[in-house]
Amino acid sequence: MPWDLTTDVEAFASTAGDFLRTRPVQHTVLLTLIATLRRRGPHAYGPEDPVFGFWRAGGSVEAVLLQTPPHPMMFSSMPAAAVAEAAETLADRPLSGVNMTADVLDDFVERRGAPATVTMRTRLYLLDTLTPLPAPNGQARVATTQDRDLLMRWDDEFHAALGEQPSADRGAFVDERIGFDGFVLWEVDGVPVSMAARSRIEAGMSRVQSVYTPRELRGRGYAGAATAAVTQHALDQGAESVVLFTDLANPTSNGLYQRLGYRPVEDRVAVRFS
């Protein structure tokens, strides 16, 4: 059956919320996006209205999509029938790109019939048992409003290192996380040398984000220490599941997170349409 599309986040949350909460690990980004849009309003990520969609099978929701333009449209995992229906439902809608699980991407792109360029391949990891590595010099602390300028600068550098433009909402991203103690800094002799952030806990899940160490300070174990600290902080605050994404093109980070106790869950691919 065709996908149902809406721009009403409350209607979408009412219809698809149970489906999303049944698999909070796999739906980590979708859950946090929806929570942010409900908290900060429909234009939290840009001036255009977001688009939500769900696909039913046998009366129950089996797949969802979400787009906050101009960002790519994100899909949950979905059966083959939903891929075909998605391509048909979205045939006349402009799409800058999509983010999908790797197993269905090729089918959708072929049905879309537009040239597509892979922008990133990512892997979702779930914490099994946190296994901190031997700690480098220094200690962790929660970031405060006094660290805002540093966090803003490092957030810009983090996106630049990924080849991305700084996010238009980075100020809100930083301020919100400072507000719920969502940034952890690793510091040596009182000087911050690395950062790691986490999302709010949604459906028992929190996601590690924005792990960054300035280039001149890398190779000393600071990123691993910051990641372990922010992970432990999420657990201490009541998270039942802690997850993170890695860029599959970066073997260093993939190896680091596995040594910390994170285990692979699924692979995703983001593409840009010409």
**Mean per-residue pLDDT, 122-137:** 96
Q: CA distances (Å), 71 to each of 28, 31, 56, 177, 234, in order?
A: 17, 16, 25, 21, 27
Residue 215: both structure tokens together: 């280039």
Name the band, by pLDDT with cuts 50, 70 and 90, for residue 270: very high
Q: For position 162, what pLDDT does the model report? A: 79
Query: Quick check: 112 pLDDT over 90?
Result: yes
Any idea which residue has 């796999």 for tokens? Answer: 26
Q: Which residue has the tokens 């977001």?
A: 50
Average pLDDT value for residue range 110-134? 96
Concatenating the DSSP letter of every residue in 112-124 gives: HTS-EEEEEEEEE
* Residue 193 backbone dihedrals phi, psi, to 5 degrees: -125, -10
What are phi and psi for residue 2, nearest 5 degrees? -65, 160
What is the per-residue pLDDT across 43-101, written as a single tens digit (0 to 9) for each?
A: 988 889 999 999 999 889 999 999 999 899 999 999 999 999 999 999 999 999 999 99
% of the chain exceeding 70 in pLDDT = 99
Provide the pLDDT for residue 36.
Answer: 94
Of 55-59, 84-88, 102-106, 122-126, give the lowest mean pLDDT range: 55-59
Pairing of the two strands 73-75 and 97-101 = parallel
What does the alpha-carbon distance between residue 173 and residue 152 come to, in Å, rounded to a whole number?
Answer: 9
Residues 11-18 have a mean pLDDT of 96
- DSSP H helical segments within the chain, as ranges? 9-22, 28-40, 80-89, 102-112, 148-161, 170-179, 222-236, 251-259
| Among 169, 178, 205, CA closest to 37 | 169
Q: Look over the chain and give the mean of its residue pLDDT values, rounded to a whole number.
A: 95
Is 230 a residue whose pLDDT tops 80? yes
* pTM recorded for the entire structure: 0.94
What pLDDT sits at residue 215?
A: 95
Contacts of residue 141, Cβ cutoff 8 Å, sequence gap at least 6: 184, 185, 187
| pLDDT tens for each residue of 146-195 | 999 999 999 999 988 877 766 667 888 999 999 999 999 999 999 999 99
- Give the pLDDT of residue 241: 98
Res 67: pLDDT: 97
The 8-class DSSP code of residue 215 comes to G
Dist. CA 104–CA 253, nearest whole Å: 25
190 DSSP assignment: T
In the chain, what is the straight-line distance between the N-terminal and C-terminal CA atoms, in Å? 28
Contact 206, 234 (CB under 8 A): yes
Half-sphere exposure of 257 (CA within 13 A, CB side): 27
